[in-house]
């Protein structure tokens, strides 16, 4: 009995060692097996899925498409000067739509159109158009002049489905000269003035014509945007402008989009829509204590919180008696429109995003670069200052001024204002435009237009909405719309011009008009005067008393 114990002990030790060895082997093989399984799951292997092999569309996920040498050669040999800016491929492989003809069916509601007055080239106009096509806009009324009216630009625009090009011809000007707007008072303060005032009147007259064309095309909503502005339908399902307007109650006539202003971080921006992601939020989308508490730092020595306007843009429901109310709003001859202001969606305004914008705006205006004369030409203080600098300074001085006033180079300040909510990052437009460019949508449009122009010699009027379609016998339909229902002595409130966001002087006006109880609360506010600016920090006071825009 005693002699059998060592044998039993040895066998137990051997069994334990065997179990340990097997356990280690299992632990070693398990991760290797999982790794091999994961590799098999993600392995593309060069095999074609039999389902997609016979698919007529053959859409691939982003990043899976192959770039053949022939496509590269085609792009490299393209004769268009816009190739570098507008894309690197002719392959239409953007995965979110079946085709880029955008043949929206009649069952898609609501039908949205955008109207604009522009002199921009293809490098700006094409990304602007196709971005808004992605958003759900089906029709564009482009009133073109300058570069936009040149044959190399306008003929490309005419070939895009849903785009109607209207030239500023003598015939158009004669029709607009008969508009009822000239006999009304709401726009009269802007008549017969140069530069921005002249543009403001042109925009209003063009908007009036666009309303007529929108009704004829069966549109439900109309929006006036400049080609340096993008709709940002935040809060809408699928990031869709159509879905956003579909959810608007039926009794709402006008939807206001507060504007955000681009905050460029470099002075060498070439493609603002695909290079800028930082924006300054609108007063309407900020708590009032945050807005006024960070006003000085957000302004950075400029005249106002925004460089230019701060009163947003709007969409109007197409209905009887609709008229423009300046470039930013719409109105109705027979009623006060029921309007709503969106809490999340906005218009992204790319303000002076390129250094060359200083000189290009200067070249479009013939005013004298003096403080008095620029008041006749520009409505906003920053535009006046920019015009004077661009007209009087050297290239080096202009660049220094541009970096100091427009470019956000202070990363610490940027981070602080991002944390406060004054600044925000918005990547969706950048990603969409980049993807459109990378997949060759823009260059394909140019190439298609060149083929059409080479095969059709007399195509100067193809795809153009002639101004003669608006009205008969030289009379504008806008003028003929139930004029007899409007009394001769009817007076309307003045058109809404581009307005700066509220400044600290408005806080002082509020302080003068509040009652004693609110004044006692207001005394808790810390107001510091420093270098002509107020540094205001509100501790929750006066938020309900501050003006709404």
- What the block records as the tokens of 311 is 């009163």
Q: How far apart are CA 166 and CA 210, in angstroms?
A: 10
Q: For 156, phi and psi rounded to 5 degrees? A: -70, -45
Predicted pLDDT at 473? 38
CB-based contact 61:93 (threshold 8 Å)? no
From the CB of residue 466, how many other CB atoms can be counted at a distance below 10 Å? 14
Closest residue by Cα to residue 395 from 362, 349, 353, 350: 362
Instruction: Provide the pLDDT for residue 24.
Output: 85
Q: What is the mean pLDDT of residues 415-444?
A: 96
Lowest mean pLDDT among 251-260, 414-423, 457-466: 457-466
Of 544 and 10, the structure prediction assigns the larger pLDDT to 10
Q: 51 vs 376, which has greater pLDDT?
A: 376
The model's confidence at residue 43, banded by pLDDT at 50, 70 and 90, is low
- Residue 21's pLDDT band (cuts 50, 70, 90): confident
- The C-alpha angle 246, 252, 254, rounded to 5 degrees, equals 90
Residue 143 CB partners (closer than 8 Å, separation 6+): 115, 116, 117, 118, 166, 168, 202, 206, 209, 210
Q: Which residue ranges make up each domain of the chain?
A: 112-266+310-350+427-485, 504-537
Give the span between the Cα atoms of 233 and 258, in whole angstroms. Answer: 11
Per-residue pLDDT reduced to its tens digit, 321-358: 999 999 999 999 999 999 999 999 999 999 999 999 99
| HEC letters along 278-338 | EEECCHHHCCHHHHHHCHHHHHCCCCCCCCCCCCCEEEEECCCCEEECCCCCEEECCCCCC
**Omega into 15 within 30° of 0, i.e. cis?**
no
The secondary element (H helix, E strand) that includes residue 368 is none
pLDDT average, residue stretch 492-508: 71
User: Per residue in 353-408, pLDDT tens?
Assistant: 999 999 888 888 889 999 999 999 999 999 999 999 999 999 999 999 999 999 99
CA-based nearest residue to 227, from 106, 370, 50, 348: 348
What's 108-128 look like in SS3? CCCCEEEEEEECCCHHHHHHH
Q: Are 142 and 157 in contact (CB under 8 A)?
A: yes
Position 308 confidence tier, pLDDT thresholds 50, 70, 90: very high
Q: What is the mean pLDDT of residues 246-254?
A: 97
Separation of alpha carbons 66 and 438, rounded Å: 13
Contact (Cβ atoms closer than 8 angstroms) between residue 171 and residue 468:
yes
Q: What is the pLDDT of residue 50?
A: 39
Residue 52 reports pLDDT greater than 90: no
Dihedral pair phi/psi, residue 455, rounded to 5° = -90, -25
What's the longest Cα–Cα distance across the chain?
129
| CA neighbor of 448 nearest in space, from 104, 78, 33 | 78
pLDDT for 305: 97
484 has a pLDDT exceeding 90: no
pLDDT over threshold 70, residue 232: yes
Q: What percent of the chain has pLDDT over 70?
A: 70
| Residue 47 DSSP one-character state | P
**Rounded CA separation 376/314 (Å):** 27
| Residue range 155-174, pLDDT digits in tens | 999 999 999 999 999 999 99
Question: Which is more confidently placed, 242 or 466?
Answer: 242
pTM (predicted TM-score): 0.72
Positive or negative, the CA dihedral 365, 153, 355, 435 is positive
Rounded-to-integer distance, Cα 509 and Cα 500, Å: 16
| Contact predicate 116/225, CB 8 Å | yes
Confidence of residue 106 (pLDDT cuts 50, 70, 90): low
- Share of residues in the chain with pLDDT > 90 (%): 60
pLDDT score for 58? 45
Question: Is the distance from CB of 143 to CB of 116 less than 8 angstroms?
Answer: yes
| CATH fold for domain 112-266+310-350+427-485 | Spore Coat Polysaccharide Biosynthesis Protein SpsA; Chain A (3.90.550)
In the predicted model, is pLDDT for residue 411 greater than 90?
yes
- What distance in Å separates the CA atoms of residue 23 and residue 27, rounded to the nearest whole number? 6
Give the distance from CA 327 to its chain's centroid: 15
**Number of Cβ within a 10 Å radius of residue 282:** 24
The first and second tokens of residue 101, run together, are 């003809």
Distance CA 199, CA 201 (A): 5
């Amino acid at each position: 009995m005693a002699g059998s114990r060592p044998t039993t002990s040895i066998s137990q030790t051997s069994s334990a060692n065997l179990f340990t060895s097997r356990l280690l082997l299992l632990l070693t093989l398990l991760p290797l097996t999982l790794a091999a399984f994961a590799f098999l799951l993600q392995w593309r292997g060069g095999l074609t899925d039999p389902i997609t092999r016979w698919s007529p569309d053959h859409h691939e996920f982003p990043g899976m498409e192959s770039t053949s040498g022939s496509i590269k050669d085609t792009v490299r040999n393209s004769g268009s000067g816009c190739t570098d800016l507008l894309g690197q491929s002719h392959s239409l492989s953007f995965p979110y739509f079946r085709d880029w003809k955008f043949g929206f069916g009649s069952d898609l509601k609501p039908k949205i159109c955008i109207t604009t007055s522009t002199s921009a080239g293809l490098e700006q106009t094409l990304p602007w158009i196709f971005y808004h096509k992605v958003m759900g806009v089906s029709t564009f009324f482009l009133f073109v002049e300058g570069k936009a009216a040149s044959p190399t630009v306008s003929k490309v625009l005419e070939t895009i489905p849903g785009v109607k090009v209207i030239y500023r011809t003598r015939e158009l000007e004669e029709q607009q000269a008969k508009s009822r707007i000239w006999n009304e008072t709401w726009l009269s303060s802007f008549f017969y003035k140069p530069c921005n005032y002249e543009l403001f009147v042109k925009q209003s007259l063009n908007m009036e014509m666009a309303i007529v064309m929108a009704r004829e095309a069966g549109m439900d909503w109309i929006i006036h945007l400049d080609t340096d502005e993008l709709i940002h339908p935040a809060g809408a399902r699928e990031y869709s402008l159509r879905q956003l307007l579909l959810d608007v109650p039926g009794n709402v006539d006008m939807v206001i989009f507060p504007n955000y202003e681009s905050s460029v971080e470099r002075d060498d921006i070439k493609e603002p829509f695909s290079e800028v992601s930082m924006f300054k939020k609108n007063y309407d989308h900020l708590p009032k204590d945050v807005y006024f508490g960070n006003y000085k730092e957000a302004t950075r020595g400029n005249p106002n919180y925004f460089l230019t306007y701060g009163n947003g843009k709007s969409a109007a429901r197409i209905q009887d008696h609709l008229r423009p109310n300046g470039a930013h709003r719409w109105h109705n001859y027979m009623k006060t429109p029921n309007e709503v202001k969106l809490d999340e969606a906005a218009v992204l305004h790319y303000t002076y995003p390129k250094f060359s914008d200083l000189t290009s705006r200067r070249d479009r205006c013939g005013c004298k670069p003096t403080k008095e004369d620029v008041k006749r030409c520009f409505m906003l203080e920053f535009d006046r200052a920019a015009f004077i600098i661009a007209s009087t300074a050297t290239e080096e001085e202009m660049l220094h001024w541009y970096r100091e006033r427009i470019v956000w180079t202070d990363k610490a300040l940027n981070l602080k204002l991002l944390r406060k909510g004054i600044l925000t990052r918005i990547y969706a437009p950048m990603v969409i435009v980049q993807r459109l460019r990378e997949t060759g949508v823009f260059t394909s449009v140019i190439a298609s237009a060149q083929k059409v122009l080479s095969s059709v010699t007399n195509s100067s009027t193809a795809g153009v909405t002639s101004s003669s379609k608006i009205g008969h016998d030289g009379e504008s339909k806008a003028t003929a719309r139930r004029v007899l229902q409007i009394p001769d002595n009817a007076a309307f409130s003045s058109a809404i011009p581009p307005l700066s966001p509220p400044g600290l002087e408005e806080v002082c006006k509020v302080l003068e008009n509040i009652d004693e109880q609110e004044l006692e609360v207001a005394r808790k506010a810390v107001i510091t005067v420093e270098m002509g600016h107020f540094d205001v920090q509100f501790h929750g006071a006066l938020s309900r008393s501050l003006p709404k825009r």
